[in-house]
C-alpha cells in the first residue's frame, strides 16, 4: 500500500466510527441550531467587532456567521476528536492499531483528516440555512464569503489538531472533550483582552489568539499571509506533538 492509501484507510476507519457514534450527530445538530439562533436573534455583540442579528439590524451578513465560528468550533471540534485516541485506549484497540504496518505519522494524519472533514461538513450544513437567507435578500459579498470559508477551514484545522493532542493524552472521552473545549475556549478568549493590556503584551496576545487572526481577516473579507502562517504553524506543531506521543507509545 502507498502512503496515501494507508492514510485513507485510517481516515475511512475514523469516519465510520464517527458516523456510528450518536454523540457526533448530537454535536452537529446542536451546532446548527446554535448558529441559526445566533445569526437571526443575537448577532455578534462581543469585543470590538459587533454585528447585529437579522431581526435586530434588518441586515443579513455572513460576517455574523463567521464571527461566531471560533467559540462554536471550540466546542464542536472536541466533540469530534475526543474519541480519536481516548476511545481507542479505553476499548483496547490502540495497541492493535499501532501494530499495523503503517507509520505513526500516517495514523495521525488519517485521524486528523477524518475529524477535519467531519467538522467542515457540519459547518457547511449548519451554515447553509443562514447563507441561503443572506443570498435571498441581496447579492452575496463574495470577498467575505471566500475569505470566511478559507478562514473557517484553517480555524477548523487548528481546533482539530489541538483536540487530537488532548485526546491522545486523555484516557476518557469526556475528559478529552472538556480539556480540549476549555483550552480552545481559553485561546479564543485571549482576543477579548487585546484592548485592555499594554501594547507589547497585546502584540503577544494577538500572536497566540486564533480568534484575533480569524476576525481580523476572514470576518472582514481580507486574509493576510500572517494568518496563513499562524494556522499552518499551529496545525504543524500540534500534529508533531501528536506524532511524538504515538511514537513514544509504540516504542514504550
The total domain count for the chain is: 1
50: helix, strand or coil: coil
Q: What are phi and psi of 51, to 5 degrees?
A: -120, 135
Q: How many CA atoms lie within 13 A of 101 on its CB side?
A: 3
Q: Are 121 and 32 in contact (CB under 8 A)?
A: no
Residue-wise pLDDT tens digits, 229-248: 888 999 999 999 999 999 99
Tell me the average pLDDT of the chain.
83
Q: Are 82 and 167 in contact (CB under 8 A)?
A: yes
> What range defines the domain where residue 60 resides?
3-251
Distance CA 90, CA 99 (A): 17
- The DSSP code for 220 is G
Residue-wise pLDDT tens digits, 130-158: 888 877 877 777 777 788 888 889 999 99
Q: What residue has cell string 481507542?
A: 88
Q: What is the pTM of this model?
A: 0.89
Distance CA 56, CA 53 (A): 5
Distance CA 83, CA 21 (A): 10
Measured between alpha carbons, how far is residue 155 from residues 41, 132, 188, 244 in Å? Answer: 24, 23, 11, 23
Amino acid at each position: 500500500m502507498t502512503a496515501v492509501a494507508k492514510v485513507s484507510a485510517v481516515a475511512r476507519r475514523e469516519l465510520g466510527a464517527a458516523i456510528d457514534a450518536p454523540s457526533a450527530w448530537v454535536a452537529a445538530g446542536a451546532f446548527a441550531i446554535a448558529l441559526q439562533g445566533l445569526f437571526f436573534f443575537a448577532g455578534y455583540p462581543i469585543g470590538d467587532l459587533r454585528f447585529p442579528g437579522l431581526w435586530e439590524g434588518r441586515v443579513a451578513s455572513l460576517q455574523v456567521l463567521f464571527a461566531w465560528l471560533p467559540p462554536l468550533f471550540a466546542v464542536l471540534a472536541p466533540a469530534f476528536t475526543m474519541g480519536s485516541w481516548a476511545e481507542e485506549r479505553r476499548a483496547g484497540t490502540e495497541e492493535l492499531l499501532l501494530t499495523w504496518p503503517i507509520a505513526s505519522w500516517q495514523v495521525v494524519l488519517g485521524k486528523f483528516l477524518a475529524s477535519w472533514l467531519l467538522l467542515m461538513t457540519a459547518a457547511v450544513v449548519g451554515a447553509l440555512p443562514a447563507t441561503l437567507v443572506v443570498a435571498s435578500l441581496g447579492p452575496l459579498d463574495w470577498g467575505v464569503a471566500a475569505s470566511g470559508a478559507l478562514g473557517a477551514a484553517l480555524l477548523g484545522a487548528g481546533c482539530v489538531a489541538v483536540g487530537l493532542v488532548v485526546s491522545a493524552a486523555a484516557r476518557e472521552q469526556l475528559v478529552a472533550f472538556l480539556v480540549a473545549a476549555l483550552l480552545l475556549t481559553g485561546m479564543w478568549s485571549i482576543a477579548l483582552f487585546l484592548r485592555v493590556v499594554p501594547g507589547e503584551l497585546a502584540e503577544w496576545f494577538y500572536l497566540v489568539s486564533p480568534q484575533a487572526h480569524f476576525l481580523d481577516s476572514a470576518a472582514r473579507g481580507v486574509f493576510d499571509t500572517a494568518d496563513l502562517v499562524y494556522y499552518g504553524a499551529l496545525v504543524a506543531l500540534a500534529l508533531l506533538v501528536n506524532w511524538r506521543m504515538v511514537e513514544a507509545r509504540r516504542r514504550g
